[in-house]
Structure 1
Amino acid sequence: MSTAPSAKGTVPFGEHRTWYRVTGTPNSGRPTVVALHGGPGSTHDYLVGMAVLAESGWPVVHYDQLGNGGSTHLPDASTDFWTPQLFLDELDNLLRRLDVDGDYVLFGQSWGGLLAAKHASARPAGLRGLVVANAPASYPLWLSEMRVLRDRLPPGVDDTLRKHEAAGTTDSKEYFDAMMVFYNRHVCTLRPWPREFVATFMEIYNDPTVYYAMNGPSEFHVIGSLRDWGVVDCLPDIEVPTLVISGRHDEATPATVRPYAELVPGARWEIFEDSSHTPHLEEPERFIAVMIEFLESLE
């Protein structure tokens, strides 16, 4: 059960609106933890358990990135509208609007981790720390490792996936069923999936505009605008204390995560042995303990 929010609503972002929820009281002595969800095109729901950090004194901000959840949906926006810079601008706007830009920590999960790292590389004055969770450092690295993971699927599964990807029928039930074999191994190993994770999954399913434009039809078939994008070049510019998190069975394999550990000065890398892509759900007690240890180290 997550801690109840102390505030929620929307803030204007240009002609659009960004939905947010705050747990705890920002600017009350400890930096605010701002959670950036994955996708792109996901929602905050599967990260809502992080609100428990407020019970230990760290306020938490969750938000839905533009195009999904409670934020403005733009199903008719052109593909080139959806760029990393758009979401960096949205993050900057949110931090200012909520008046937390003077004292905050970023937690970025999956796609949110690349976004958080890119933000941190600009060395904003109010940023106190960075957590990059289950995030590849670039999509070319990610795609290279997806081939490795796909080759290890049970016999026939990858053949089915490739058949539909070649035919452009990735919306078929057969593709979905084969896709779930991968997801259950490398995205979330829990059975059944937690309710908050299902909520996020359904949000993408109900409006895949952003996910399809930037990523593609699945985690391992990235044909969207991000296929050549990454943050490797800017990692040495990050100056704040940085924690890197990944799961032993993560779709974000060690090869995709290693640049953070090697290139961000002083970064610490924590691998969760019993997790895939969602250690915060698969090993929640240890996850919160690791987070609190890191946040305390910033003091």
Structure 2
Amino acid sequence: MTSLTTHRVPFGQWETWTAVFAPDLPVPGALPLIVLHGGPGMAHNYLKNLKALTATGRTVILYDQLGCGNSSHLPDAHEGFWVPELFVDEFHNLLEYFRIGSFHLLGQSWGGMLGAEIAVRQPSGLASLSICNSPASMELWAEAAAELRKDLPREVRDALTLHEKAGTLTSPEYSAATMAFYERHVCRISPLPADFEQSVAQMEAEPTVYHTMNGPNELHVIGTLRDWSVIDRLHLVRAPTLIVAGEFDEATPATWAPFITNIPKVDSHVFPGASHCTHLEQPEGFQRVIAAHLARHDQPRHS
């Protein structure tokens, strides 16, 4: 059993909505886990099943990053406002608000990219990092997407290319073609889990962050993150790191190979049969792997 408290954490002139899941039986030395959602702009909903990690006796904290979900929305913010540094600052603001010392950090998709951005800054108290279904650069991500779309049915590939060239990205035909990719490489559960649909629905209702930073969809990255890379800074990560991916993940091995090559203390785990939403497709196995990683690094690190 767990208890839930929600908070509206002041962040400058805005607010970050935060959910804190606390275990009924805390385990001494079990550090809190902070979870970073993807998108950018997909909100916390689709990661709610990670509250099950309170079974390890630790607190689990999820939050909606600025611009989405229950946090402050800024549809009129200029393009240059939406940069990774904004979300790094928001994260540190939460640490200060909750007076968190040592902690674990888990990021999924964009959340893993944000987790890497946080870790290369070597924050005190970071006991471990889990990067789940994430690329080390958007160039590698785009290259992987181009390779994966080659394996789509010809009519799907043609529809994607046609509408991207024409700029008709709101066409029902284009949406259907995009969904064919998603069903293979984003979430292989049918029908889609309700938590996932909630995150998608809120993003579609307020797409500012996703459209500005990413673009219209996972296959067509034309936003401010298109040139993002953390590869040349990964040697600065001091925290022991776990890389997680699915066999059919849109984050293919080529996209996360630099994490393995450049992070000094790193392990990896690939889930057979899973795709980008590994935590939804294989929740028990995913939670077991993450729990073991957290337990190995529960004692605060000393510099």
Q: Which residue of 1 aligns with 2:301?
A: none
2:252 aligned with 1:253: yes
Instruction: Name the % identity.
Output: 45
Offset from partner CA, 1:39-74 (integer Å, 9 cap, x none): 111110011011011122121000000000000001
Map residues 168-183 of structure 1 onto 2, 5 A cutoff.
168-183=167-182
Deviates more, 1:224-233 or 1:163-172: 163-172
Q: Contact between 2:2 and 2:54, CA under 8 Å: does it hold in 1?
A: no
Secondary structure, counterpart of 2:218 in structure 1 = coil
TM-score, normalised by the number of residues in structure 2: 0.95
1:4 Cα deviation after fit: 5.0
Q: Contact between 1:106 and 1:116, CA under 8 Å: does it hold in 2?
A: yes
2:76 aligned with 1:76: yes
Q: Which residue of 2 aligns with 1:99?
A: 99
CA pair 76-286 structure 1, distance change in 2 beyond 3 A: same
Distance in 2 between the 1:105 and 1:169 partners? Answer: 43
Q: Which residue of 2 aligns with 1:63?
A: 63
1:149 Cα deviation after fit: 0.6
Q: Which residue of 2 aligns with 1:194?
A: 193
Q: Which residue of 2 aligns with 1:15?
A: 13
Q: Contact between 1:242 and 1:266, CA under 8 Å: does it hold in 2?
A: yes
Distance in 1 between the 2:163 and 2:4 partners? Answer: 46
Q: Contact between 1:5 and 1:21, CA under 8 Å: does it hold in 2?
A: no
Offset from partner CA, 1:74-113 (integer Å, 9 cap, x none): 111111111111111111111111222x111110100110
Q: Which residue of 1 aligns with 2:149?
A: 150
1:5 Cα deviation after fit: 4.3
Q: Which residue of 2 aligns with 1:40?
A: 40
1:192 Cα deviation after fit: 0.8
Distance in 1 between the 2:238 and 2:181 partners? Answer: 36
1:29 Cα deviation after fit: 3.2
Letter in 2 for 1:64: D
CA pair 292-216 structure 1, distance change in 2 beyond 3 A: same
Q: Which runs of 4+ in 1 moved over 3 A?
A: 25-29
Q: Contact between 1:142 and 1:252, CA under 8 Å: does it hold in 2?
A: yes
Q: Contact between 2:214 and 2:225, CA under 8 Å: does it hold in 1?
A: yes
Could you say what the CA RMSD is over the residues aligned between the two structures, in angstroms?
A: 1.3
Distance in 2 between the 1:221 and 1:62 partners? Answer: 28
1:155 Cα deviation after fit: 1.2
Secondary structure, counterpart of 1:251 in structure 2 = coil
1:261 Cα deviation after fit: 1.2
Secondary structure, counterpart of 1:24 in structure 2 = strand
Secondary structure, counterpart of 1:243 in structure 2 = strand
Letter in 2 for 1:15: Q
- Segments of 5+ residues of structure 1 without an aligned counterpart are none
1:256 Cα deviation after fit: 0.1
Secondary structure, counterpart of 2:99 in structure 1 = coil
Secondary structure, counterpart of 2:154 in structure 1 = coil
Secondary structure, counterpart of 1:158 in structure 2 = helix
TM-score, normalised by the number of residues in structure 1: 0.96
1:6 Cα deviation after fit: 2.5
1:247 Cα deviation after fit: 0.3
Q: Which residue of 1 aligns with 2:54?
A: 54
Q: Which residue of 1 aligns with 2:215?
A: 216
CA pair 37-293 structure 1, distance change in 2 beyond 3 A: same
Distance in 2 between the 1:97 and 1:27 partners? Answer: 23
Distance in 1 between the 2:27 and 2:39 partners? Answer: 29
Distance in 2 between the 1:146 and 1:243 partners? Answer: 23
